[in-house]
Amino acid sequence: MAQGSEMEDEALECINVLVAHGYSRAALKEIPIYERVVGGLVFCLQSEELTSVDCDILFRPVATVKERVRVAEAICNSFNTALLAYKKNTNSKSTLSLSVHELQGANYAKLKQVVMWLVKHTQIKLTTRMQNAIEMQWKIDTPFIGD
């Protein structure tokens, strides 16, 4: 029983982080927890153009097992590719990865790590884009000295 409670706590932590990050669909209690977490993963990946996964199939009541496996494979591939690129660009030694059986098996301990990494990564990219936009606007609005 404690194991189930711990799993639920980790799932709810994932959901709270995703809602705070802007994925409001994760707050909808009508949607099963697993689907909210997976949808949040795709939301994060899509928000940074790290994937073109269509997660709507996960929310279809008649999605086949084959369709769900294909989506899970695409999510894992997109995440692992993004992580690999990040590690290459930053010389990170992170051992984080996501496998299809962890995703489909609702391994919330692992999914929580993935959600936290994605949220942190997307927030850093958003902050960088905002800073670049502010600097660009400043350069446009600031007259050259000596003119």
Q: Model confidence over 110-127: pLDDT tens digits?
A: 999 999 988 888 776 666
Note the pTM of the prediction, 2 decimals.
Answer: 0.72
Mean pLDDT along residues 43-68: 68
Query: Does the pLDDT of residue 31 top 70, yes or no?
Result: yes
Provide the pLDDT for residue 1. Answer: 39
Angle at 103 between CA 122 and CA 58, to 5 degrees: 85
Provide the pLDDT for residue 64. Answer: 78
Where residue 28 falls among pLDDT bands split at 50, 70, 90?
A: very high
Query: Does the pLDDT of residue 69 top 70, yes or no?
Result: yes
Q: Model confidence over 72-89: pLDDT tens digits?
A: 888 898 888 888 888 887
Q: Is 97 within 8 Å of 66 (Cβ atoms)?
A: no
Q: In this structure, what token pair is assigned to residue 51?
A: 């994937």
